[in-house]
Amino acid sequence: MNYYNENFRAWVLSIIISATLSLISYMISKSTDTYAITKKEASTNIIEIVLPERQVEPQNFPLRRQDSIKRTAIKQREIANYDKEETSKNLHEHALVEEELVLDKSRVESPESTQIATPPSETVLSRKQSEITQQKIESPPPKYAYSSTQKALETPKAQTKDPLIEYFQRLKELIKQHKRYPEEAKRRGQEGTVVVRIRINESGKIEKVEVVRSSGVVSIDRETLRAIRSLGSLPPPPTQSSLEFNVEVEYKLGG
């Protein structure tokens, strides 16, 4: 009896274990239901991936055993994704492209071969080349005010003076001389810096003055606009063309 009991217990236990295991495996199989690439496929079969003949642009590779791939659920979903229209265009164009990526230069037609030989008159390149030859740049090319020459870097001050810089300094001086500390602000002990934009035409006439960033004090902003407008005209810019610039005007008590 004892013996039987022992055996029975072991038997019940094994039933419970196997039931649990099958339940778990069932649950796993359920959970991988939407998994596009299923376990079954993987363990039994290696799927051939066929790349387009001139494989440059990827296509959905045809899987041999289409039936085992559960992708309808995914496909049906309304997914905000890479532009739908673009994707469809993509697929459409891929078909075209596979044949078309021919690297043999002789076969690469250039769109209008008859028009190719248009000799440069005032060419961008020739100008550029002269720029380049003066500049032995030891670094990647201009990305942001990069058009500096190595020489200029070493001796920045030895350069010919930039008339625009002097002009800008003069303007700052002029504005400084013309501004008055607003009485109201003074009384209240208010200070601030206002940034204004000034546009002048080629003869120096002020066309527009605007506050780009307020000082936070109305009277200071207003006074700055008045002071600049009262100048009426500024010296003609060295560029001999209209010019715009942002300038900061500072109001500091006791300064």
Q: What Å distances lie between residue 212 and 58, 208, 225, 248, CA to CA?
A: 50, 12, 11, 10
> Which stretch in 2-10, 131-139, 178-186, 222-230 sits in contact with other proteins by CB under 8 A?
131-139
Q: Of 3, 122, 145, 252, which lies in the binding site for other proteins, with binding defined by CB under 8 A?
A: 145
Which span (11-19, 69-77, 182-190, 224-232) binds other proteins, by CB under 8 A? Answer: 69-77
CA 192 to chain centre: 35
Task: Looking at residues 224 to 243 of the shown chain, list those that interact with other proteins (rule: CB under 8 A).
Answer: 237, 239, 241-243
Q: Decide: is 174 part of the binding site for other proteins (CB under 8 A).
A: no
Examine residue 183 and tell whether it contacts other proteins (CB under 8 A): no
d(CA 156, CA 29): 73
The nearer residue to other proteins, 12 or 153, going by C-beta atoms, is: 153
If the CB atoms of residues 1 and 116 are measured against other proteins, the closer one turns out to be 116
Residue 178 Cβ, how far from other proteins at the closest point, in Å? 19
Nearer to other proteins (CB atom), residue 7 or residue 149? 149
Binder to other proteins among 55, 203, 230, 233 (CB under 8 A)? Answer: 55
Query: Per CB under 8 A, which of residues 70..129 are in contact with other proteins?
Result: 71, 74-75, 77, 79-83, 86-87, 89-90, 93, 96-97, 100-103, 105, 108-113, 115-118, 120, 123-125, 128-129
CA angle 248, 253, 255 (to 5 degrees): 75
- Residues in Cβ contact with 108 at an 8 Å cutoff, skipping those fewer than 6 apart: 102
End-to-end CA distance of the chain: 109
Q: Are 201 and 207 in contact (CB under 8 A)?
A: yes
Asked if 199 and 247 touch (Cβ cutoff 8 Å), the reply is no
Angular region, 212: left φ>0, alpha ψ -120 to 50, beta rest: alpha
